[in-house]
């Protein structure tokens, strides 16, 4: 069976109709995994066991979750019991967790065979590092993947590949077992081939977790059943500064705005001057949090240990120099510097205040509209490299807002919503996706 281009919903339909089996799907994906790329570890035996259980339950007439039997992969930053978890770093080489992340256990409870771990840049902080979650889905090895999103790099890569990726509201999905570099920014984020695939995976993963005090405490109400693509009641704002920064790359967002107006929504342009400060604010905060979080990886109790060292200080210095790559060393040094008493007020405290101002500005803008519509990337000639990196995507991470990227009009665009508004976000995306498919 050719499954390379089928969505998770289509595969679930084939399973329900008895036209294929979960074991058959898992085997087909595993055969394609090596040539497609993106995997750092495969878990064939465990995946086939899960698939076999799903097939047995379906054969017995048991009611199953919507995505039961659909294969999935998770980024190598999620702990998986008994399976290597290295976060793309030599520092964690050989680390096999004794427990699984909550997101992983929920995938297993939903009957999704976990085919393996997907490549990630070191602790998710390498801007040009590998992104196996996007690669595996784009190349047809998987219909679904779960990655982590701390600055929107996952969304940017997904948009470039013509995929859909949802970064939920911070706290909507448990972060327990997600090896964190920047705790207030990192999120578990689905990658898929369709909006409904993302909605169903989000429904499976979202909800309170007693193991993570930062999760939303209200029970999760499934959003997928409510999606109908009706957008006539929506008020949408195009972010002027991001449109201008994107230049020709803003065409997809402009086309989407015109399409939404035809469907009955109202669209207007709105200013968000502080958006330009997002990437630098994010860089300081992410580096400071990484410096703090990764300090435990010192070669004494955790992480790689240098073989030749004279004293504890030398052991720590050599272990971290050998275990961390150049970008991680740069980040942790910068973060440590920003947290030093002599420089904290000038760097870290200022970044905290800027973040608060950005959050307030986003909240004020979203008080007068339902969604923000933005390009995915600025133009190549916009500002310095640091200003370009994440200009359009870091706002959602800094403010803890849900954001979704999808292909449209020959490019890709981003929708950003209020906290907890994933249903609105996904519904607007579904409307645009439907138009895109009718036009193709």
Mode of pairing for the β-strands spanning 72-75 and 144-148: parallel
Please report the pLDDT score of residue 35 as a whole number. 82
> What distance in Å separates the CA atoms of residue 148 and residue 120, rounded to the nearest whole number?
9
Q: Average model confidence (pLDDT) for the chain?
A: 94
pLDDT one-digit tens code per residue, 151-176:
999 999 999 999 999 999 999 999 99
Q: Kindly indicate the confidence band of residue 440, based on its pLDDT and cuts at 50, 70 and 90.
A: low
Residue 200 has pLDDT above 60, yes or no: yes
- DSSP label at 41? E
Same fold, 8-220 and 230-440: yes
Q: Which of 148-157, 170-179, 188-197, 383-392 has the lowest mean pLDDT?
A: 383-392
| Residue 70 in tokens | 């659909």
Residue with more model confidence, 388 or 363? 363
Q: What average pLDDT does range 275-283 have in this prediction? A: 95
Question: Quick check: 366 and 402 in contact, CB under 8 A?
Answer: no
Please report the pLDDT score of residue 437 as a whole number. 87
Mode of pairing for the β-strands spanning 72-75 and 114-118: parallel
Q: What average pLDDT does range 195-224 have in this prediction? A: 96
CATH architecture of 230-440: Alpha-Beta Complex (3.90)
β-sheet bridge partners, residue 114: 72
Distance of CA 297 to the CA centre of its chain: 24
> What distance in Å separates the CA atoms of residue 2 and residue 28, rounded to the nearest whole number?
8
Please report the pLDDT score of residue 280 as a whole number. 95
> What distance in Å separates the CA atoms of residue 414 and residue 374, rounded to the nearest whole number?
5
Q: What average pLDDT does range 76-91 have in this prediction? A: 96
Q: Which of 100-104, 159-163, 262-266, 388-392 has the lowest mean pLDDT?
A: 388-392
Residue 150 has pLDDT above 60, yes or no: yes
Which residues fall within 8 angstroms of residue 342, CB to CB, at 6 or more apart?
none
Residue 47 has pLDDT above 90, yes or no: yes
> What distance in Å separates the CA atoms of residue 395 and residue 400, rounded to the nearest whole number?
8
Q: Kindly indicate the confidence band of residue 303, based on its pLDDT and cuts at 50, 70 and 90.
A: confident
What is the pTM (predicted TM-score) of this model? 0.95
| Residue 44 in tokens | 């064939």
Residue 144 has pLDDT above 60, yes or no: yes
Question: Quick check: 287 and 332 in contact, CB under 8 A?
Answer: yes
Q: Kindly indicate the confidence band of residue 376, based on its pLDDT and cuts at 50, 70 and 90.
A: very high
pLDDT one-digit tens code per residue, 316-359:
999 999 999 999 999 999 999 999 999 999 999 999 999 999 99
| Residue 334 in tokens | 């910068």
Q: What average pLDDT does range 58-85 have in this prediction? A: 96
The domains of the chain are located at: 8-220, 230-440
Superfamily of domain 8-220: Amidase signature (AS) domain (3.90.1300.10)
Q: Kindly indicate the confidence band of residue 249, based on its pLDDT and cuts at 50, 70 and 90.
A: confident
pLDDT one-digit tens code per residue, 394-407:
999 999 999 999 99
Report percent pLDDT > 90 for the chain: 88
List C-alpha distances in Å: 436 to 111, 408, 431, 440. Answer: 31, 6, 9, 6
């Amino acid at each position: 069976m050719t499954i390379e281009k089928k969505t998770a919903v289509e595969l679930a339909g084939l399973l329900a109709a008895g036209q294929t089996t979960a074991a058959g799907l898992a085997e087909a994906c595993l055969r394609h995994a090596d040539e497609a790329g993106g995997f750092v570890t495969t878990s064939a035996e465990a995946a086939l066991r899960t698939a076999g259980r799903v097939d047995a339950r379906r054969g017995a007439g048991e009611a199953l979750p919507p995505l039961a039997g659909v294969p999935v992969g998770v980024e190598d930053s999620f702990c998986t019991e008994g399976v290597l978890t290295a976060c793309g770093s030599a520092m964690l080489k050989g680390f096999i967790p004794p427990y699984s992340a909550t997101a992983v256990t929920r995938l297993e409870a939903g009957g999704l065979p976990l085919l393996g771990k997907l490549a990630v840049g070191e602790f998710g902080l390498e801007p040009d590092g590998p992104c196996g979650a996007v690669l595996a889905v784009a190349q047809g090895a998987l219909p679904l993947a779960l990655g982590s999103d701390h600055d929107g790099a996952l969304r940017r890569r997904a948009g470039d590949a013509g995929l859909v990726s949802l970064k939920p509201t911070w706290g909507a999905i448990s972060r327990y077992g997600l090896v964190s570099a920047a705790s207030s920014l990192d999120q578990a984020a689905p990658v898929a081939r369709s909006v409904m695939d993302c909605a169903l995976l989000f429904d499976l993963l979202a909800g309170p977790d007693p193991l993570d005090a930062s999760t939303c405490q209200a029970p999760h109400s499934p959003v997928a059943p409510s999606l109908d693509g009706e957008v006539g009641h929506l008020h949408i704002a195009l972010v002027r500064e991001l449109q201008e920064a994107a230049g020709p790359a803003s065409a997809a967002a402009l086309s989407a705005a015109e399409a939404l107006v035809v469907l009955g929504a109202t669209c207007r342009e709105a200013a968000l001057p502080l958006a330009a400060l997002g990437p630098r604010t994010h860089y300081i905060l992410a580096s400071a949090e990484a410096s703090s979080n990764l300090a435990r990886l010192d070669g004494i109790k955790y992480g790689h240990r240098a073989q030749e060292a004279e004293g504890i200080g030398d052991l720590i210095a050599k272990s971290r120099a050998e275990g961390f790559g150049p970008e991680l060393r740069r980040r942790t040094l910068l973060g440590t510097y920003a947290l030093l008493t002599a420089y904290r007020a000038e760097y870290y405290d200022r970044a905290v205040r800027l973040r608060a101002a950005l959050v307030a500005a986003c909240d004020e803008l979203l008080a007068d509209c339902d969604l923000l519509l933005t390009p995915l990337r600025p133009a190549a000639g916009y500002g310095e490299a640091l200003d370009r990196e994440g200009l359009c995507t870091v706002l959602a991470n800094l403010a803890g807002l849900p954001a979704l990227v999808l292909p449209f009009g020959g490019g890709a665009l981003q929708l950003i919503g209020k906290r907890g508004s994933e249903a609105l976000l996904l519904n607007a995306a579904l409307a645009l996706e439907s138009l895109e498919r009718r036009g193709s």
